[in-house]
Structure 1
Amino acid sequence: MIFKMKENGFETKFEYGTIQISGNEQYGFRPYQLMVSSIAVCGGGVLRKILEKQRMKVTDMTVEADVTRDPEAANKITKIHLHYTISGEGLIEDKLEKAMVLAQKNCPMAQTVIDSIELTESFKIGYVKG
């Protein structure tokens, strides 16, 4: 990856487009937003794959990230709580709980930060068919 300095931040290009990154959200995504996004989307993607392998069909998933930062330590991220709302067919609460643990263990982004950021998760089942 190559990040090119611009007047108000940096820019990088990928196959699907260009990302503007800046400490000022008027000019692009803030670095902490990209970090949290990576963790949330990685976890959600791995969770979806696990549920589908367990024959639970996921028709919709929303991941809400609640972020805690420490203003006295360079505003570093200290905690991320991910709350999943999952809709689908054949969703079983006990299996979902176990799948979440497995997903966190298999999400590269979560495993990258697990020793420096407290990462917690919860879920609720949305509309269920069958």
Structure 2
Amino acid sequence: MKTTVRWTDGVSFEAETGSGHRVTMDGAPEMGGRNLGGRPIEMLLVGLGGCTAFDVVHILKRGRHDVTGCEVAIDAERAPTEPKVFTHIKLHFTVSGRGLSDDAVKRAVDLSRDKYCSASIMFAQVAKMEHSFEVREG
């Protein structure tokens, strides 16, 4: 797996993934950024959310559950001093579907957390991780 990150100007960077997609990142205005993209540290949480949501949807669909939506709200805390690593990450899943049971969603979240989501498993090495979920009909 490869990614290339190129400095564009100021404190803006463009990343090109190995699959050919581009992402713009920019620093905060107080650091000279122009707010043209997410902060690089935010991208770590974006990757975490995408990785685990992908797993949850995939697991539910593979189990023939009628899932129609999945959202992950992530709230992360960082250490107060450098390096400001993540210390506590809370993930809250809102999963929608027709006839979805709490047990099925819990199983999918647990499997993602414990077995499939590489990002979640890596973050758990350095931060306290909390997972919660709710199921909505529809």
Question: TM tier, shorter chain?
Answer: 0.7 to 0.9
Q: How far does the alpha carbon of each residue in 1:71-113 deviate from its partner, in whole angstroms, 9 at most, with x for none? A: 2243221111111111102211122212211111211211222
CA RMSD in angstroms comes to 1.7
Q: 1: CA distance between counterparts of 2:108 and 2:69?
A: 16
Measure how far apart 1:63 and its partner are.
1.0
In structure 2, what is the equivalent of residue 72 of structure 1? 81
Q: 1:2 aligns with which of 1, 4, 9?
A: 4
Is residue 96 of structure 1 aligned with residue 105 of structure 2?
yes
TM-score of the two chains, using structure 2 as the length reference: 0.81
Letter in 2 for 1:33: E
Q: Which has the higher contact order (CA 8 A, sep 6+)?
A: 1
In structure 1, what is the equivalent of residue 134 of structure 2? 124
Contact 1:85–1:126 (CA<8 Å) still a contact in 2? yes
- In structure 1, runs of 5+ residues without a counterpart are none
Q: 1: CA distance between counterparts of 2:99 and 2:82?
A: 45
In structure 2, what is the equivalent of residue 113 of structure 1? 123
Letter in 2 for 1:23: G
Contact 1:55–1:90 (CA<8 Å) still a contact in 2? no
Percent of pairs with identical residues: 25
SS state of the match for residue 83, structure 2?
Answer: coil
User: Where in structure 2 are the equivalents of 1:44-59 lying within 5 Å?
Assistant: 44-59=53-68
Is residue 61 of structure 1 aligned with residue 65 of structure 2?
no
Q: 2: CA distance between counterparts of 1:19 and 1:95?
A: 34
Corresponding residue pairs, total: 127
SS state of the match for residue 4, structure 2?
Answer: coil
Letter in 2 for 1:29: G
SS state of the match for residue 97, structure 1?
Answer: helix
TM-score of the two chains, using structure 1 as the length reference: 0.86
Q: How far does the alpha carbon of each residue in 1:44-90 deviate from its partner, in whole angstroms, 9 at most, with x for none? A: 11011111122211101111111111222432211111111111022
- In structure 2, runs of 5+ residues without a counterpart are none
Contact 1:5–1:11 (CA<8 Å) still a contact in 2? yes
Q: 1: CA distance between counterparts of 2:86 and 2:116?
A: 21
Is residue 42 of structure 1 aligned with residue 30 of structure 2?
no
Is residue 30 of structure 1 aligned with residue 39 of structure 2?
yes
